[in-house]
Structure formats: structure tokens, C-alpha cells
Structure 1
Amino acid sequence: MPVRTMASYNAKSVTGQTASLPVYHPEIHHDIFPTGRSFFNWLTMGIVGFTLLFIALVTTYLVRPELRAGEFAENTIKAPQNMRVTDFAATAQAKERAQRGTVPVFSVDRSGDQTCKNRLEEVFDNLKAYYDESGLSQLDQATKDSLLAHFSTLVASDETFDAEVAKLNTQPANAHLVEALKAQHAHIKRFRTQRPLTLDATFYLAMTVPPEELPAFKASVEKTINKLLAIHKRYPHETSVEWEPVIAEFLPENWQQAKKAKTAQLIASALQTNVQVNEKATAEKAEQSAAHVAPVYKLITKSSVIVKRHQLLTQGDVETLRELGMAQTNRLPMIMGLGISLLAAIALAAGIVYTFDARHLFQTNSIGLMYAVAIAVATAASLIGDNYPQFVPLPAAALVWTIFFGRRVSSALTVPLIVILAVAQLIEGRHLIALSTAAVAAVICYTKHRNSLMLTGFVVGMTQAVAFILSSIMFNGLDSVHHLGRPTLFELFAGVVSCMLAIGSLPFLESIFGMVTPFRLAEITDAEQPLLRQLEETAPGTYQHSLAVANLAEGGARAIGGDVNLVRAGALYHDIGKMARPKYFIENQLGAKNPHDDMTPEESRQRVLAHVTDGIDLAEKYRLPKAVQDFIPMHQGTSLMAYFYHKACVRDGVENVDPKFYRYPGPKPQSKETAIVMLADVSEAVTHSMHDPTQEEVELAIDKVFQNRWEDGQFNESSLTYQELIKVRQAFVRVWRTLHHERLKYPSTTTGRMAIAPEMNGQKNDDAKANQENGADSSAKKTDSNQPTSNGGGDIPEPPGGCCS
């Protein structure tokens, strides 16, 4: 298929005239998404980074033990926000009062009724037995009355009885009474020995109820018992003494009070508890009463202390912490929620980064640096977020990302990180607001001058301190201002420390991830750098060529928003390998004989190819950043050494020469920056070899360079798009015009005439013309001497420009 000519693709040039553009072939795929092993590495980096970041975020939940009542709090715990929580202590007291006020549930037990009747039968048997054994039937009524008058002495202990008897013996008239008392006391004592459960009332009734009245007495008692059992219930807490007045009311009204009282004692002793508390039903009723008690609530303000460090935890403290989600009772839902939130945050960050600068999203080292910084922040938040939250290096992360990726990408990474820290609740609200504001300040105040970084640190510290004061007032009111002096100083100090940490970490991050900061690029592009000085002294032509390439490449990078500093550094160092054999490259020959004239194409290829490997060796020796080293092989890519290939074709015939042998080994440019330097390198060489070209000739030459490299597939592995290629081409033309603008023609110093503009005097100065013509002839001769002549041996490709440029 024939290649379409440049003339068929036209667009407006920077001068407003029509200029040719590279041919656009849709079938040439320019995709920045990694493939093959690169995709595997990229995917692995993404999975490992997500896993480590997730672990860093959830470590605090996995390590922090579950709080239990009776243990001591390891740290001071504050409320994360204003909340109405249950006052568990007050609620527990209310429930306890409700349980205590619950009326017991009783169950009637009739099994004791017969036991009561049996015990009364025993009472009557004891009464009759004592009556028979004591000889009361032989005593007259007056003696019985005297005994009843001293009944308390009869049933008293031996010591009391002897004392009372001794008093009675002081009067001779009491001799008969004393004998009767001694006899009955002995009978009572012996009867109790035989029947220990006999009550005093039994002895009293035996003296008051004669045997002939005993059946009627028994009938009255049984009738009273039946009434009591049918109507009344005896509860467990009721004593016999409490029942005696009730029983007395059921006895015959014509009985004497003493007789009623003693009979009531006998009946009360026989009565059994016929009502039992139903413990199960009572407990259930108490639980129901407690369950109906409404919870008592209390208001906890944000940042108020719930428990202090080393405080003994009560059950109420633990329940409050559980209600706030801070007691770690069920970690799984929280961890799962955090994982989902993290995925959403990463997806959000990736989407924004893809919109702003997609190349960083598909570079393994960039992804690694993004994750490493985020993991460091998350780990710090997990470890010190409770005790020293102001020192969590969130501003440092924002500053590092800004230095390496720029403000837009840094913002796209910082905002989701703040969100995920808020979701994880690793940092108290006031401090998180202060840190977030400081991070924004770090992104905004960053400059590319190393000397300004300390000022950035101070601004970040001040911002963090002011934001902390304002957030404290917002959460706790104006009264809190009086207590913010020392914490505010800590915030200021922490902000400065965070920026110092960011600055100090730059060399390590550059080394680990093979990336380079603007500060490092500024250092290595200084003209006093040893390697550049050596290049200027050893290969001055190459040095001047590199400066010209840098000027072109900077313009192209700036036009598409590329890394201008990196492009300049790559352009300055892309040909340092020529120092090893400078005379083999035409720009360093300075009119001397070209050694390639006496060499075979194979030998020339070997010498020229060596400048790439020599350059890599020098770059490694002088420890140039990996990002700069990449320009050395990539500025040639896999392009063809057209001059030597043409020379070989002239000698051996096209069909006998393998073009692959005369291609550079690559790799092809992997980024926009390396692609721009490749174009600038060839464009500068071609336009430099042209003698006094017009702008149209320069534009046509640059267009041809762009089309050749595009159609050769040199940009297939970079992210340079066709639209960006057009912008780069226009930028190259603008830079060339700037460097080759018309100047006033000055008269010969021998004439002393005033300088006049060319358009005012159509004549060129003779000396200037002679000098230009001499220079042009010399250049032309040098170029012509390097061109092999065609031997008519077939379709031999024509080499572009001069040799070995």
C-alpha cells in the first residue's frame, strides 16, 4: 500500500500559512494501558497496595481488644460526635426499682391443711395426758387458781423458779402453795422431757379446762380451724404471733381473754403456710416490669471524655462505648464497610487521576508511590491517631504527591484519603479537619524552589493551628478557646514537622520508586554539573546539540502539559555516551576527516550504537535518576540508522541487507517526555544541517521527521496522542523561529556606516554575505562528502540529513 504524501494533509501553521501534518493512521494503536508482563506487574502492584492499605486501616480494630467491665482503659476515649446515648446507670436503677416494687405471685398449697389438723390432735392428746399425769384432778379450785396466778413461775427455768419459791417461803401462809408449785413444776419439767414440743399454753389450758368440758372445747377449736382454713391464707412471711389476734376473733365470745389467747397460741402453732411464692412467675413478672421501664438518656457532646486512661470500666461505660461503636463488640460489619468504602475511594481517585493525567495511573512506580504514601498515613493514623492525632502526616502526604505528580493529581489522591480516614474514625474530628486543611494548604503553597519549602512548612503549620482553633470553637463553643493554647502550639509544630518529613523522605522515595523530583532535576541540569562540564569539554558539538534539543523539547512538553523539567534533563543527557568516541559523530569533527568514510557500514553501526550503551554506563556511574537514564536508549527507540543502511544497500543491494540489523535495540519511548525528546533530537539535527532555510522549508522538514517516526511506530508504547503530536510540532516551529529570528545587518567596521534594516536596504552586507556563503559552502561540502552516491542498483532509500548526528 503506497504511503500518502505530506501534501495531502494540511493545517494552519503557527505563521497562519498552510503546513503539512503527520499522516494519521487509525490502525496504529497508541494505548497507555499496560499489556503483557507490564499489566501483570501493574495489577500485582494494585492488589498488593490495596491489601496493605486495607490492613493498615483495620489494624486498629484487629489489635484493639474488646472492652470489658472491671478492666482498666488503656487510653482516654472521647466521643467522636454529639450523640444522645442511653444512661445505663440511671436506666438500671429505674429497672431495679420496678423489680423491687413487683408484687409476688403466690400459689395456694392445700397439702398442709391435714397436717394442721393432725398437729391439733397431738395438742389435745398432750393436754389430756398432762391433766391425768399431773394430778390436777385432785386439786381443789382454789389451789388451781393459785397455780394459774403463778403460771409464769411454773413454766420458768429452774433458777427463776427457785428464786420465786424462796420469796414465797418467807411467809408461812404460802407453805401449801409452795408445795403445789413444786409438784406442778416437777410434772411440767418431766412432761417436757418426754414431749419437747409441748407449748406452755397446753399446761395453762390443762389447768383451766376440766376433763368434762374437753370435748366441747375440742369441738370449738376444730370449728375455728375449719373456718380459718376456708377463708384465710397463711403467707410465708407471716408469723404465729401475727395470726394469734385473728384466731382469737373466731373463738367463742363467752370465753375469758386469757383462755382465748392461750387457745389461739395452740392453733397458730398448728397452722401451716398454705400459700407459697411462685418464684418463676414472680421473676417473670419482675422482668416484665423492668422491660416496660423507658430508657433514661443523656447527651454526650463531641470530644467529651467518656473514660479516662487507666480508669476502671463499669458496665455502664462499656455499654455506652458499645452504643457509640467503640467497644469492638462486632468487628466484621465495620471491617466490611471500611473495605467497601476503601474500594469506592480508590475508584474515585483513579477516575479523577485518569481525567487529569492518565499516565500516572498506568505506571507501576507511580502506583507504588501513591499506595506507599497512603499506607504510611493510614498506619500512622492507626498507631498514633488516638494519642497524637496532630502528628499524622496527612499534610506530608499531600506535599509529596504534589511534588511528584502535580497539584491536580495530588488533590485527586488527598481528598479520597481524607474521606477514608473519616470513615475509619481513626482521627478525632477536630484534628482531622485541621490536618485536612493543612493538606490543602500544602498543595496550594507548594513551589518548585527548594528554598521555599521551609516557608511552605510554616504556612502549613499555621494553617493547621488556625483550623484546629476554628474547629474546636465549632464543636465546643467559644468557652473552649481558653484551653487551646498548648494544643494549638502542638498543631503548629506538627504542621512544620510534617513538611520537614516530606522533604526528608524525597531522596528515599526517588531511590525506591525510580522517580525524580523537580529539585533533583534542577540540580542535575545545572551547567556546572561535572558530567555536563565533561560533555562540553569532550564533545562540544554534542553539548551544543543537546542544548538546542532541550530548547525544542521544553517547548513541546510545555505545549501538551508534560514534565518540562524532566524533558530538559533528558535532553541534556540523552547523548552523553558520545563522550566515549566523540570523533565518530559529525557535530564533534569540526572540519576534520570523517572516520566513517574509511569504515564499513557494519563498523560504523557498531561505533554509533555504542553511544547508547556508553551513555547508560556513564549515567549509572554518575547516579543519574532512572527517569533521566530512560532518555538515553529511548531517544533512539528502534529507529533505523538510515545513513549506514543506505550505504550498505549501495554496496550490497537492497535485497541483501537486513534493515533490522541497522535498527537501534530500543526500547521505544515509554512516555510522552521521551517521545518528545526523540522528535526534538531528529528535528534539531535535520534543521541544523539545512543551509539558510526558510520557515516553510523548516516546517516541511519537521513534518517529515514527525511522519517518519509516527509511521515507523516509534510512539506505539508511549501515551503521546495524535492531537498532542500536532501541538508538539507547532511548538517546535515556534521555538525554531525564536532561535532563528531575523537580525539587523550591521555595516563593516571599516565603513563606519549606520546599521539599517534589511527591508530598507535590499542589499546585504558584503562581508556578512561572504561569511555566510563561506560557512554554507563548508557545511555543504561536509554534508556532500558524507553522502554515498547511488550505484543505480535498485530502489535504495535516501538517508535523512547528515551522517551520525
Structure 2
Amino acid sequence: MVSNKKKEDKLTTKNMFSFLNKTIVKQILLAVVFTLLMYFIVGSSMAPERITVKVGDLAPDDIRATKEMIDEITTEKLKEEAMKSIDTIYRVETSVQVKIKNDINRFFIILREIRNMEDETHANKMEILQNRTNINLGIEEYSIALSISGDALTTLENNVQDMISQVMGMGIIEEELESKKESISRSFEELEHLSENAKTLGISIIEKTIQPNKFVDVDTTFQKRQEAADQVTPVVIKEGQIIVEKKQLVDERIYSLVKKTGLLKETEGPDYKLIGGTMTFILILEALIVSYLYIFDKEVFYDTKLLLVLAIIILSITAISKGMYRISEYLMPISVATMLISILINPKLAILVNLIMSIFIGTITVNDMNIMILLLIGGTVGTFAIINTHQRYNIVLTGLIVSTINILTISAFGFIHGVEFKEILYTSLYGALNGLFSAILTIGSLPLWENLFDILTPLKLLELSNPNQPLLRRLLVESPGTYHHSIIVGNLSEAAAEEVGGNPLVARVGAYYHDVGKLRRPFFFKENQYNGENPHDKINPSLSTLIITNHTKDGDELAKKYKLPSAIRDIIIQHHGQTLVAYFYHKALNSENGDTVKAENFRYAGPKPQTKEAAIVMLADSVEAATRAMPEPTKGKIEGLVRQIIKDKLNDGQLDECGLTLKDLNTIANTFVRVLLGIFHERIEYPKLDLAELKGDN
């Protein structure tokens, strides 16, 4: 029971590892980790740090405006002051004055009619006047009106009408009514031509009839005040301007401004809007890269190792750029990413990544279009300049080119925007340092990428092709025949790979190292047997085959020891595929136990060549060895031999997995013949000359 449980646990663990080993799972995990790390790097930069503050608190620090905005509270106060500065506008209702004058005029008409009633007594007239009058006066005033002379009455009437016209012509507001009555009373008292009774009657008539005729013009007043408010210029807070200084009291106005900046943390806990927005932005840019790879570069899309390299480059350069931004935005080294991606993966992808990183890093830092364009131009130039770089000093040259382009771009923007020449020089210095810093960082980190991720770059290949490499040096000293054989195989392989669209540099370097396994037993191989002795004559064919076929395994072990890239190790292992060691196989067939000999025991372990370069090295290796053994090589013999060897490899199935077509094989054959004819060309036989005869001596 326990045994079954252990088996189930092992099976579960195995299935889990098998699941995690799937490419799609690795890609998803890489995408998730990349997204989280990118958020960790840039999350705090996508928006300023939130501030927890409320009305009545003291500001924890100087708070600056994150954008240009209007101080609405201060502007509103200025508008209110402007409106208050506009006096209330009144209108005079002339109808009120006309009515009052008509009432007074009617009073005097009625008064005169009653005064002319000669048959009536004074008491009856008093009663009639009280009943018919439209102005309610006192008994004394009625008595005076009936008793004064006609001339005095006319004078009084004229004075009353004049006083009404004078006072009400300017208008009387409700609040001024009593004061106006007092003023009129004083004015009547000063009229010397009127008797005291007439003055009393006039004052009473005016006090009873006068009323406000000046009213607030609401519409006009509102319009004028609104016009004054509209003329107030809004108070603008500039980007970067201090809203509140440290330890300053936060009032309603300051609180509203801080809220408008987006700096105010209004709720406790995580800012989910910021997190969601940042994640969405990262995922959009990530999706652009993934979509490009899926549509245009599936080789990289399905290569988890290269995807990991791409992710690390983007993450590291983003982090470095964020740090350099604190010194100057002109020092952000986007060019490092483009140069590394161009060298390690491919230039087309580098251009896309450059575009995305320029937008992304520009957004999380300065959010300045000029800086984004500078980063975009510098990175693109770095990509173009680094293509086909075969020497590390070329990276320094690329850095100088990027520096020059940065200086020109900064100067161009400076002249366009009218920046002072001194400021242009200052920023141009940072632009120049950017290019140099990018070159140094690229050169310094390139060996790390090559060795850590086993990536074969042209620079690494050229270094490996140097004869002073320890393993090649050993091959030259300990197995000179094999070394010279490898050099010729390298020439053949490079020429053929270039013709069929392979990587000529990989083919050449792979050919240089393909036989390093012979260093274990160099004298068991014909090209290193100089004294005519052959150790294989003393051992049986099976052992000889084992020694011969093991040189691929021995070569792989040496390659690991000397840390050769996997692409070169693959060529070492695959350059014989599963071919038959024909010489010893036939020798075994002719031995005493020939009936029991099996061909599979005399074949290399393989695998068969998996790439064009490995297959080309296999063919070049066989062709070089065969032509070297040819007694009198001629063009016809060489071409026939080359095509026969290629045909035998094809028929034996050794080229089934390498991707070479029949057309490629024909091209390879023609290329091999052309190179070999240059090696085995005919030479002129020089005649023997008598030096003494040439000098004219007897």
C-alpha cells in the first residue's frame, strides 16, 4: 500500500514537471513574472506619491502642482469682489410722479369747487371736503385750505408741484422716504412768501402724497455685475508651482488644489485605479511585442531562452533608465537595449522594442515628447550601427555615433524652441555621455549574456576562431594533421553555408572545432600518423571503431570543459551523424567472426545533423578527407568524388533532418569543387638550372 502511494506521488511530481516544462506554460509564467517586475519597477513612477492630508492639517512637505490648473476658490473670491464693486442700479418710475401730481392737482380742483359754494356754511364745506378729497388731511389742514386767500392757495399749489417735481425727479428710494419728507419740511419752512398756515398745509399735502419712485433694476444690476465677474482673469497655478509649503496650514482652498493635482489619497488602502491603469499600460506594450513575435518571428516566440533574455534586457534597462533620470533625462540609456537585442536576437525586434521603450520610459519619467523622440532616434541609430558588428571595438564606434546623433538632436530641438546656447551645450554633454555609457554597458555586459544564456554572437564566434584559443592551440600542437584538416574543412563549410543561406561564421567555427575529440588519441587517426605506423593494425576492428566513433563524445566533453557554445558542441556531436565506419566494418566482415558482425555496431551514435551548418560540416569533412587521399586530383575526379560523397550521405539518410534541399546540395557540391580546385590546382614544374652556368663560369 505504501509502495503504491509512493508511486502515485512520483507520478504526480513527474506530471507536474512535465506540465511546467511545456513551452506555453513557460511563456505564461515568464509573462506574469515580467509584468509583476515591471510594475514593481515603474509602478511608483506612473503617478506621483499620494498624500494623506485633510483640512486643518499641517502640510507634511512642500506640495507642488503636477499640472497647470485654475485656482477656482481664489478666482471665485475675486469675481465676488468684482461684483460687489458694482453699485446697485436703480430706475425711476415716472408714472409714480405723474400720479402724485395728478392727485395733488385734483385735490386743488375739488378744493376750489367747494370754496366757491357760497350757500354753504364753513362747517358744511369742511364736511364736503372731507368726503370728496383724495388726500386725507387733518381737520386743521382742511380748515386752512378753505380759509386762505385764493392767491395764497394758487401760490401754495405751484410751490407744492415744484417741490414734488424737484424731489421726485431725482427719485426716492424706500429707505430715503422719511429723510426726504424732513428735507421738504425744512424747504417749506424757508419759503418766506408763504404764511405759516400755507406752509403747514403744503407740508401736510406733500407728506401725504409723496412715495418712493426709485426702484432697484434687478436685471441691469445682475448684468453689470456678471460682466465685471467675467472680466476677472482666472488665477492659474503653473505646473511645478508650490501649492502649500511644508508645515503650512491646509485650508479649504489648498485642499481643493491638492485634490485637483491627483496627489490626494482620498481612501485608505491600495489605489486600485492606479494599479489597474499601470497594469493595463504594461500589458498593452507587452502585447505589442508578443504579437510581433507571433506574427513575424515565431523562432523567437517559441524560444523561451531568448524570451527570457529579452525580458531581462527590457527590465534592467528600464530600471537603469529610471535611476539615471534622477541625474538627467538625457542619460537614460535606451541604446543599450537596442544594441544588445540587435546582437543577441535580431535587429528588427530591436527597432520595435526601441519604439515601445522610448514611449514607455518617456511616459513614466518626464512625459516630454522631445525626450521620447531623442530616445527613439538614438536607439534606432544604435540598432542600425551595430548590425554586422564583428569586433568589440565596433561597439565603441556605435556609441560614438549615438553620441553624435544625440548632440545633433538636442541642438535641433534647442534651436527650434529658442533655448539659450549655454543650455544646449550643457544638455548636449549629457547626450554625448549617454552614447558612451551605452557602449560601455553593452561591451561590459555582452560576455555575461553570451555565457549565461549560451548565445552565439558574431563577436563570440570571431573570438573562438582565433588560433590562439586554448583548444585550437592544443589541436595545432598535439594534432597538427587534424588542425590543418579542420582549417580546410572550415573554408569549405563557410563558402557552402554562405551560398545556401546558412550562417557561414557558425559553419567555419564549427568546422575548426569539429574534430577536437581526436586530441584524446591523436595517433589513432590517419592525418596524425607521420612515422607510417598504424595502431589499428594491432587491434580488432570493433575496438578501432569504438576509438574512432568516440571522438565525437570526447570532443563534446572537451567542448564542455572549454565552455564552447552549444551550437558548436552540436556540430561536434552531429558532424558524423549515424554514418557507418566502412573501413573497419568491411575489415570485420572479412575476419573469422564475420558472420556475426552487425552494421549498427559500426555506426556513430549520432544524432544526425539537425542544422544546415552541421550537415555542411559533415559533407565538408568527408570531402576533404577523400580528396586528400586522391592520388592525382583533377577537376573531373574531384567533382565526381564530391557528388558521390553527397549522394551516399543522402541515400544513407544522414541529411534527412537538417533542412537542406536537393537544390542546396547541388549548390554545395559546386561550391566544394570550386574551393577544392583552388587547393589542388596544377603547378608548373620548374626546370633544374645550373647556377654556375647562369653566372657565366666555366
Shorter-chain TM range is 0.5 to 0.7
Higher relative contact order (CA 8 A, sep 6+): 1
- Say which of 316, 330, 348 aligns to 2:257: 316
Q: Deviations over 1:527-552 (max 9, x none)?
A: 23343233223222211111110110
Give me the CA root mean square deviation: 4.5
Q: Deviations over 1:14-67 (max 9, x none)?
A: xxxxxxxxxxxxxxxxxxxxxx98994644553344334433443355345653
8 Å CA contact retained: 1:535, 1:543: yes
For residues 421 and 458 of structure 1, do their structure 2 counterparts lie closer, same or farther at Cα, with a shift above 3 Å needed? Answer: closer
- 1:201-216 matches, within 5 Å, as none
3-state SS, counterpart of residue 541 of structure 1: helix
1:411 aligns with 2:351: no
For residues 532 and 495 of structure 1, do their structure 2 counterparts lie closer, same or farther at Cα, with a shift above 3 Å needed? Answer: same
Rounded Cα–Cα distance in structure 2 between residues aligned with 1:515 and 1:309: 54
Q: Which residue of 2 aligns with 1:51?
A: 32
- Say which of 80, 88, 92 aligns to 2:70: 88
3-state SS, counterpart of residue 462 of structure 1: helix
Structure 1 residue 701, shift from structure 2 partner: 2.7
3-state SS, counterpart of residue 364 of structure 2: coil
Rounded Cα–Cα distance in structure 1 between residues aligned with 2:421 and 2:34: 36
Q: Which residue of 1 aligns with 2:607?
A: 667
- Say which of 50, 56, 59 aligns to 1:67: 50
For residues 454 and 423 of structure 1, do their structure 2 counterparts lie closer, same or farther at Cα, with a shift above 3 Å needed? Answer: closer
Q: Deviations over 1:382-420 (max 9, x none)?
A: 555566433333211222233334xxx223333234225
8 Å CA contact retained: 1:391, 1:498: no
For residues 99 and 54 of structure 1, do their structure 2 counterparts lie closer, same or farther at Cα, with a shift above 3 Å needed? Answer: farther
8 Å CA contact retained: 1:577, 1:615: yes
Q: Which residue of 2 aligns with 1:483?
A: 423
> Which structure 2 segments of 5+ residues have no match?
1-16, 54-58, 85-174, 182-225, 247-253, 265-270
Equivalent position amino acid for 1:485 in 2: L
Q: Which residue of 1 aligns with 2:442?
A: 502
What is the aligned residue count?
519
- Say which of 422, 429, 432 aligns to 2:359: 422
Rounded Cα–Cα distance in structure 2 between residues aligned with 1:75 and 1:439: 35
Rounded Cα–Cα distance in structure 2 between residues aligned with 1:543 and 1:53: 46
- Say which of 471, 475, 478 aligns to 1:531: 471
Equivalent position amino acid for 2:50 in 1: L
8 Å CA contact retained: 2:350, 2:383: no
3-state SS, counterpart of residue 667 of structure 1: coil
Q: Which residue of 1 aligns with 2:211?
A: none
Q: Which residue of 2 aligns with 1:341?
A: 285
8 Å CA contact retained: 1:381, 1:426: no
Q: Which residue of 2 aligns with 1:145?
A: none
8 Å CA contact retained: 1:53, 1:374: no
Rounded Cα–Cα distance in structure 1 between residues aligned with 2:244 and 2:80: 34
Equivalent position amino acid for 1:549 in 2: V
Equivalent position amino acid for 1:640 in 2: L
Q: Deviations over 1:173-213 (max 9, x none)?
A: xxxxxxxxxxxxxxxxxxxxxxxxxxxxxxxxxxxxxxxxx
1:440 aligns with 2:373: no
Rounded Cα–Cα distance in structure 2 between residues aligned with 1:518 and 1:696: 37
Rounded Cα–Cα distance in structure 1 between residues aligned with 2:693 and 2:613: 49
Structure 1 residue 691, shift from structure 2 partner: 2.8
8 Å CA contact retained: 2:71, 2:235: no
Q: Deviations over 1:484-506 (max 9, x none)?
A: 33222112112101110100112
Rounded Cα–Cα distance in structure 2 between residues aligned with 1:322 and 1:537: 72
Rounded Cα–Cα distance in structure 2 between residues aligned with 1:663 and 1:47: 42
1:621 aligns with 2:561: yes
Q: Give the TM-score, by structure 1 length.
A: 0.56
Equivalent position amino acid for 1:414 in 2: I
3-state SS, counterpart of residue 497 of structure 1: helix
- Say which of 515, 520, 523 aligns to 1:580: 520
- Say which of 534, 552, 555 aligns to 1:612: 552
8 Å CA contact retained: 2:339, 2:350: no
> Which structure 1 segments of 5+ residues have no match?
1-35, 80-84, 103-241, 249-288, 755-805
For residues 418 and 653 of structure 1, do their structure 2 counterparts lie closer, same or farther at Cα, with a shift above 3 Å needed? Answer: farther
Structure 1 residue 341, shift from structure 2 partner: 3.2
Q: Which residue of 1 aligns with 2:397?
A: 455
Rounded Cα–Cα distance in structure 2 between residues aligned with 1:440 and 1:467: 13
- Say which of 487, 506, 509 aligns to 1:547: 487
3-state SS, counterpart of residue 433 of structure 1: helix
Equivalent position amino acid for 1:463 in 2: I
8 Å CA contact retained: 1:49, 1:372: no
For residues 669 and 468 of structure 1, do their structure 2 counterparts lie closer, same or farther at Cα, with a shift above 3 Å needed? Answer: farther
Rounded Cα–Cα distance in structure 1 between residues aligned with 2:42 and 2:693: 88
Q: Which residue of 2 aligns with 1:468?
A: 410
Structure 1 residue 586, shift from structure 2 partner: 1.5
Structure 1 stretch displaced more, 559-568 or 68-77 = 68-77
Structure 1 residue 632, shift from structure 2 partner: 1.8
Structure 1 residue 97, shift from structure 2 partner: 5.4
- Say which of 373, 379, 384 aligns to 2:319: 379
Equivalent position amino acid for 1:579 in 2: L
Rounded Cα–Cα distance in structure 2 between residues aligned with 1:311 and 1:484: 32
8 Å CA contact retained: 1:67, 1:318: no
Q: Which residue of 1 aligns with 2:576?
A: 636
8 Å CA contact retained: 1:91, 1:296: no
Equivalent position amino acid for 2:489 in 1: V
- Say which of 556, 568, 586 aligns to 2:496: 556
8 Å CA contact retained: 1:349, 1:413: no
For residues 617 and 593 of structure 1, do their structure 2 counterparts lie closer, same or farther at Cα, with a shift above 3 Å needed? Answer: same
Rounded Cα–Cα distance in structure 1 between residues aligned with 2:19 and 2:612: 18
Equivalent position amino acid for 2:70 in 1: F
8 Å CA contact retained: 2:610, 2:657: yes
8 Å CA contact retained: 2:475, 2:482: yes
3-state SS, counterpart of residue 484 of structure 1: helix
8 Å CA contact retained: 2:633, 2:680: no
8 Å CA contact retained: 2:334, 2:358: no
Percent of matched pairs sharing the same residue: 26
Rounded Cα–Cα distance in structure 2 between residues aligned with 1:332 and 1:295: 40
8 Å CA contact retained: 1:433, 1:471: no
Rounded Cα–Cα distance in structure 2 between residues aligned with 1:310 and 1:573: 71
Structure 1 residue 688, shift from structure 2 partner: 2.2
Q: Which residue of 2 aligns with 1:730?
A: 670
